[in-house]
Amino acid sequence: MGARLAIAFEPSYISKFGKCTPYLGRFWSGCAGKAKRGLEISGIGVIDLDLHTCLHLEAVQTPTPSTLETVDWTLVDYWYLHVLRVRKESLLKLTPYVVTDVYFSKATSVNGAIQMGLHVISRLRDDASLRYLTTQLPCSGRGRPKQYDGKIDIKNIDEGRFEVIALDNGQGRILSAVVNSVSLKRNIRLCIWESADKKTHKLYFSTDISMVAKEIIDYYRTRFQIEFCYRDGKQFTGLTDCQSRDLNKLHFHFNTSLTSVNLAKVKAVEKGTVLSMASVKVLWHNIFLMQRFISVLGDQTERRNK
């Protein structure tokens, strides 16, 4: 693993039918763009910016919202934070940064992660309410010192308040500054990615205000590697194939499937090649097939000698 690491957290929908499977309910499916009946896993991975990959750490099955309601919990405000909180000591040994989707850019999620000692890197909604920090020195008069200098208009940015970083190959530019987020109720390091034609903006942020702007965007974009872990697990290592109705057996199956993807990635790194799960599958299928032929037909050379 490289020196630049971050924890990636991402729930994933698992198709499952029946009536007796524990925690079977309706969960959001990103592929379908709607909630579907099945299971969900709360996945934790570690992303490596230098290798541009993600390795699976653990997947925990998500209880249904109706189950959580019995203890006055919600998915976003309690359960997802609980999954990280139980493992925070192990995670903090790897890195203090956690990268999440824009869905988790809420005050409860961000403040909960900060209370664990983690810094959050994520993306804000395009219409997020942000304020400039004042540059005026506090006066000696009565009253509270001025803190903010008005709302940030993304379409009419005051570039004098931002550090402007040009990107190579016509990929646009980054505008970075420490600002106040109204929804998160704290100051953040804001990085605005702006396309070359200035028609598209994306708002990224980190609760670590000393963080380098370009790394914030690199961390967030590398987060998508955890979704590739789920994709490879579902397509090649049987992530959705377990028919068990036992909670422990399901937990073992989910983690074994995703760990198999890890092993393929490690082998690809050792050989200095780009991972292709399809190529790995074909390779091992051919090896198994040849071993089967040899075991059934025997060694023709030995037969001739006899």
Q: What is the pLDDT of residue 255?
A: 96
Q: What is the pLDDT of residue 170?
A: 75
Q: What is the pLDDT of residue 281?
A: 76
Q: What is the pLDDT of residue 306?
A: 56
Q: How far is CA 305 from CA 159, 192, 297, 298, 302, in A?
A: 84, 75, 15, 13, 5
- Two tokens, residue 184: 């998160």
DSSP 138: P
Q: What is the pLDDT of residue 83?
A: 94
DSSP 8-77: EEEEEEEE--SSSSTT-EEEEETTTTEEEEEEEEEEEEEEETTTTEEEEEEEEEPPPHHHHHTTT--III
End-to-end CA distance of the chain: 53
Question: Angle CA(113)–CA(118)–CA(121) in degrees, nearest 5?
Answer: 85
Q: What is the pLDDT of residue 160?
A: 87
Q: How far is CA 126 from CA 105, 130, 200, 237, in A?
A: 12, 11, 10, 37
Reading phi first (left if > 0) and then psi (alpha if -120 to 50, else beta), residue 185 is in left
Which among 13, 223, 195, 246 is positioned nearest to 120, based on CA atoms?
223
- Two tokens, residue 243: 């028919």
Q: What is the pLDDT of residue 197?
A: 84
Which parts of 139-237 are beta strand (E)? 148-151, 163-166, 173-181, 186-194, 201-206
Strand-pairing partners, residue 276, are none
Which among 21, 19, 185, 10 is positioned nearest to 99, based on CA atoms?
10
Q: What is the mean pLDDT of each run of 10 residues along the chain (306 residues)?
A: 86 89 91 91 93 92 90 87 94 94 91 94 92 77 75 87 86 91 93 87 93 92 91 91 92 95 84 74 83 78 56
Residues of 80-96 as b/e, b for ≥16 C-beta within 10 angstroms?
bbebbbebbeebeeebe
Which among 236, 227, 165, 177 is positioned nearest to 203, based on CA atoms?
177
- Whole-structure pTM value: 0.86
Q: Tell me the one-letter amino acid at 22.
A: P
